């Protein structure tokens, strides 16, 4: 009997993994594992890009998804805690993409109901790539989260860390890809 219970548990775990594996995220402007174009670089702090957020598309969200959140995080930033480049919350469940430059400060390019959260640059919106000159190329982790709640109740001045905590507390599933960006000396 014990072998049947173990086998049933293994089959259930595999079916859950197969469902989670169907949730995917991509960008028509950035290849997963590739190098990001300069247009997504920040304009400030010695960087001279266009500070435009890339278009993102996702599919295969888990059943029960009531909203989405999107984050972009640089784990290689020399801060001891990484760097949050973009956090968007309260994306309605019927939305499956963000247009190019959706991260403009002020949120005018976001879907109705969605909002940017303050990132490590100190404002709410896309804060582009801007690794120190001469550093090894940094990794930028793009993630979409399927959430079990329609809205995250965050204060207007919430930090990315607080938003990240609330996102993970309400997560049904997540899909990610990573791209790189560096600036030569």
pLDDT digits (tens, 9 = 90+) for 44-71: 999 999 999 999 999 999 999 999 999 9
Q: Which of 20, 145, 148 is nearest to 86 (CA)?
A: 145
pLDDT in tens, 93-118: 999 999 999 999 999 999 999 999 99
pTM of the model: 0.88
φ/ψ of residue 163, rounded to 5: -60, -45
* CB-CB neighbours of 139 under 10 Å: 17
The residue that leads in pLDDT, 72 or 16, is 72
- What domains lie within the chain, and their CATH numbers? 2-181 (3.90.280.10)
Q: What is the strand order of the sheet 24-26 is part of?
A: 24-26, 56-59, 97-98
Angle 153-61-97 (CA atoms, 0-180°, nearest 5)? Answer: 75
Q: Of 59, 53, 65, 72, which is closest to residue 143 (Cα–Cα)?
A: 72
């Amino acid at each position: 009997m014990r072998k049947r219970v173990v086998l049933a548990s293994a089959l259930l775990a595999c079916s859950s993994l197969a469902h989670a594996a169907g949730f995917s995220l991509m960008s028509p402007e950035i290849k997963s594992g590739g190098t990001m174009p300069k247009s997504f670089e920040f304009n400030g702090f010695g960087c001279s890009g266009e500070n435009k957020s890339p278009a993102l598309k996702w599919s295969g969200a888990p059943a029960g998804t009531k909203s989405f959140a999107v984050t972009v995080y640089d784990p290689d930033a020399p801060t001891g805690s990484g760097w949050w480049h973009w956090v968007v919350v309260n994306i309605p469940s019927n939305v499956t993409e963000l247009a190019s430059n959706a991260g403009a400060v002020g949120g005018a390019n976001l879907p109705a109901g969605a909002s940017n959260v303050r990132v490590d640059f100190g404002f709410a919106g896309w804060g582009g790539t801007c690794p120190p000159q001469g550093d090894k190329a940094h990794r930028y982790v793009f993630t979409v989260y399927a959430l079990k709640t329609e809205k995250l109740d965050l204060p207007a001045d919430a930090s990315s860390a607080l938003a990240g905590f609330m996102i993970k507390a309400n997560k049904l599933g997540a899909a990610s890809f990573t791209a790189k960006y560096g600036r030569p000396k």
